[in-house]
Structure 1
């Protein structure tokens, strides 16, 4: 695998990251953005890193085109539930307050939990922990948020780094909350970044065809 950085709208992403166990490969990338009065406002660049063994869980889709995969929520269900480590790197392009990011993440996760009747006291406490983590942060350009998902048991370590400050980290062990954070970023048609979901479909279709 090459060591060249992958540029996502001017933001460099390494082609792989080494976590506690195995190197994970960059399998998809994109942006979160919004169009206001015909202007595209870009908020974050996103890179999704996966263990290459994830392909063993996606054999059912071998030979499918990326355009078929991107329309298939079952494919993203299999990707999310695959028992492999997953790592999401989010680099801030447009500065926002941590409280604004907190609201987006908190409401997305809560809505998903409520929709499947899994929003109990334990989930509320775990989600509040995540919300509090971001509340006082200031997401300046080039700040980095990472979500490292361990597969068994399903947990996530969230870290935040910004210029001039040390790394801040928390670990979330409530599997329902962790799953919904993962779905917010990788959940097919309901994901926060359609360009990232499309990029994942393209790379995984290419790898499944190899």
Structure 2
């Protein structure tokens, strides 16, 4: 049995993220790395605005195990390098964002774009290509209305493109992406904005660290049994 077959689903508020999923734009099956809420300030109150599930393809486990097997969850949580190896790793990722509070696509994409541009400028990697990718991102989202229970789906594909999809039902993932943006940095920046140093969902980040620590330990034990 592969390590990913042992993962469980995670409940965030009333939304269950299943152990495995198929995503739009990819033929791979993804396992649930972690899940948690993102909070928003509404009327001076801190409220849960969305539920986020972070998925990866099976090859993520041996890829991450090379450097991170045997590390405790606390060590992973405190390591910016570990999370960088997740969002920039040579394996496909899938991000499932379900709205708890209503939000327009325009507002959502503007917040994502602001975070991405901030990251790129800080790293000195903001080029004309990234500027055009942001323009495409804003265009894809501008007419979308996202009521509670609707989902925004991002698939970071192996060839570097970012597939974007929308669904009005958390449990129903479409087979075909609504849009495809060919910019590797954009996909990585979207994921970094969630689990990076200043990521918007500390809960999803912690969940990922805890669950991946267990999976990587299981991977190490399985390797030991086969030697």
Q: Which runs of 4+ in 1 moved over 6 A?
A: none
TM-score (norm 1): 0.89
User: In structure 2, what is the Cα distance between the partners aligned to 1:94 and 1:132?
Assistant: 22
User: In structure 2, what is the Cα distance between the partners aligned to 1:61 and 1:168?
Assistant: 33
Which digits, 9 at most, give the CA deviation of each residue in 1:26-70, with x for residues without a partner?
Answer: 110001103668843111101111113212122222221111110
TM-score (norm 2): 0.83
2:148 matched to 1:144?
no
**Using a 3 Å threshold, how does the CA distance of structure 1 residues 100 and 83 change in structure 2: closer, same or farther?**
same
User: In structure 2, what is the Cα distance between the partners aligned to 1:93 and 1:40?
Assistant: 13
- Structure 1 residue runs of 5 or longer lacking an equivalent are none
2:201 corresponding residue in structure 1: 193
User: In structure 1, what is the Cα distance between the partners aligned to 2:79 and 2:8?
Assistant: 31
2:118 matched to 1:111?
yes
Residue 205 of structure 1, CA deviation: 0.3
8 Å CA contact 2:10, 2:34 repeated in 1:
no
Q: Which residue of 85, 96, 104 maps to 2:92?
A: 85
Residue 93 of structure 1, CA deviation: 0.4
The correspondence of residues 1-210 of structure 1 with structure 2, limited to 5 A, is 1=5, 6-19=10-23, 20-34=26-40, 39-59=45-65, 60-151=67-158, 153-162=159-168, 169-187=178-196, 189-210=197-218
8 Å CA contact 1:57, 1:78 repeated in 2:
no
Which digits, 9 at most, give the CA deviation of each residue in 1:123-158, with x for residues without a partner?
Answer: 11111110121122111001111001112x211101
Alpha-carbon RMSD across the aligned residues, in angstroms, is 2.3
User: In structure 2, what is the Cα distance between the partners aligned to 1:207 and 1:2?
Assistant: 8
Q: Which SS does the other structure have where 1:31 is aligned?
A: strand
User: In structure 2, what is the Cα distance between the partners aligned to 1:4 and 1:78?
Assistant: 23
User: In structure 1, what is the Cα distance between the partners aligned to 2:75 and 2:43?
Assistant: 31
Aligned length: 206
8 Å CA contact 1:29, 1:196 repeated in 2:
yes
